[in-house]
Amino acid sequence: MKILITGGAGFIGSALVRHIIGHTLDAVVNVDKLTYAGNLESLADAARSERYAFEQVDICDRAALDRVFQQHRPQAVMHLAAESHVDRSIDGPAAFIETNIVGTYTLLEAARQYWAGLNEEDKAAFRFHHISTDEVYGDLEGPDDLFTETTPYAPSSPYSASKASSDHLVRAWRRTYGLPTLLTNCSNNYGPYHFPEKLIPLMILNALEGKPLPVYGQGRQVRDWLYVEDHARALYKVVRNGKVGETYNIGGHNEKRNIDVVHTICDLLEELAPAKPAGVARYRDLVTYVKDRPGHDMRYAIDARKIQRELDWAPRETFESGIRKTVQWYLDNLEWCRHVQDGSYQRERLGMA
């Protein structure tokens, strides 16, 4: 099987590419614009495979997408390309509307035209898998409530509203045109190769440098944490075995308050990196509470029983095992982090010194 993956140089996309190249016999066509969050260094091993191909293409560029479909002839599309940082969406929502809504529409139309030209057997086998987020559901009210596949949408940020819009487009293309679509909504991912602006890698790298660890409000926001390699396994199960037209929620069964996540990272660093920066007695002393961001949802939690029941998927990592692996990975890969922090990962892809 040949799978076209959009956003394959991003955090979740690169984990998916590494999983498919490393654990299956399938081929991957990685379509990525290479914005700031796209990092080809995350794919160094996968890129050596003859089953891997890369196309630097913007999903808003219809002509380029048509060429990619005709040249590579994929049997499935897994759509992960998206602007995804909530703070950035508050500061500048336009890029989120363009990529997440217009880009998804453009990709859907390119895929629909390609699919319509296939023979009947290939048309029946084709899949368009759209990867989304639990943030489209908004806030949970009760302490025991969970997001299910039928939870009404109530997005709170420009980011989540743009992802909700893309979800609606995918379902409409299924209903109106018959495009064989699947949709997944996941909880917060973490793990290796996560861009350092996100909570967990930011806390690790700031702590190692003796910088403040900024926590919104009092850090009482609750998230369900999903190890990215568990998510990659789930996504592959869905594109291979999921039922067309269905939605599957993917969660880690690991609800944690943000402040508890930060404290866990600090405690692991006490063990794994005891030689602290000058002037730092304890990593926890670096925690700094900052003004909460506008519209900040207080609690997300996924009910992932459907994918477990129907596709036999469950996370392998607990939060305790996954966060330890994550902290150790960053300690072992500080050069990758430095390349991101100083921007050299972008200069190298452009052939600059």
Residue 52: what are its φ and ψ, rounded to 5°? -115, 135
Is 83 labeled as catalytic in the residue annotation?
A: no
| The pLDDT value given to residue 351 | 45
CATH number of the domain that 125 lies in?
3.40.50.720
Confirm whether 49 is domain-assigned: yes
| The pLDDT value given to residue 294 | 86
Confirm whether 330 is domain-assigned: no
Extended beta strands in 162-227, E state: 181-186, 188-190, 213-216, 222-227
Confirm whether 271 is domain-assigned: no
Q: Name the residue among 185, 256, 251, 252 with its Cα closest to residue 215.
A: 256
Single-letter amino acid, residue 57: V
Q: Name the residue among 228, 166, 232 with its Cα closest to residue 192.
A: 228
Is 285 labeled as catalytic in the residue annotation?
A: no
Is 52 labeled as catalytic in the residue annotation?
A: no
Torsion of CA 278, 283, 285, 287, to 10 degrees: 120
Confirm whether 108 is domain-assigned: yes
Q: Out of 41, 55, 134, 230, which one is annotated catalytic?
A: 134
Give pLDDT tens digits along the chain (353 positions): 999 999 999 999 999 999 999 999 999 999 999 988 899 999 999 999 999 999 999 999 999 999 999 999 999 999 999 998 788 899 999 999 999 999 999 999 999 999 999 999 999 999 999 999 999 999 888 778 999 999 999 999 999 999 999 999 999 999 999 999 999 999 999 999 998 888 999 999 999 999 999 999 999 999 999 999 999 999 999 999 999 999 999 999 899 999 999 999 999 999 999 999 999 999 999 999 999 888 888 888 999 999 999 999 999 999 999 999 999 999 999 999 988 888 877 765 544 33
Confirm whether 159 is domain-assigned: yes
Q: Name the residue among 81, 85, 116, 117 with its Cα closest to residue 102.
A: 81
Confirm whether 80 is domain-assigned: yes
Q: What is the pTM of this model?
A: 0.94
217 contact partners, CB below 8 Å, separation of at least 6: 289, 291, 292, 296
Confirm whether 281 is domain-assigned: no
Count of domains forming the chain: 1
In whole angstroms, give the CA distance from residue 297 to residue 138.
7
Q: Which helix (H) or strand (E) holds 229?
A: helix 228-241
- DSSP at 43: G
Q: Out of 52, 105, 137, 159, which one is annotated catalytic?
A: 159
Confirm whether 63 is domain-assigned: yes
Domain ranges, residue 244: 2-193+224-255+298-317
In whole angstroms, give the CA distance from residue 348 to residue 346.
5
Query: 216 near 290, Cβ under 8 Å?
Result: yes
Q: Out of 83, 135, 224, 297, which one is annotated catalytic?
A: 135
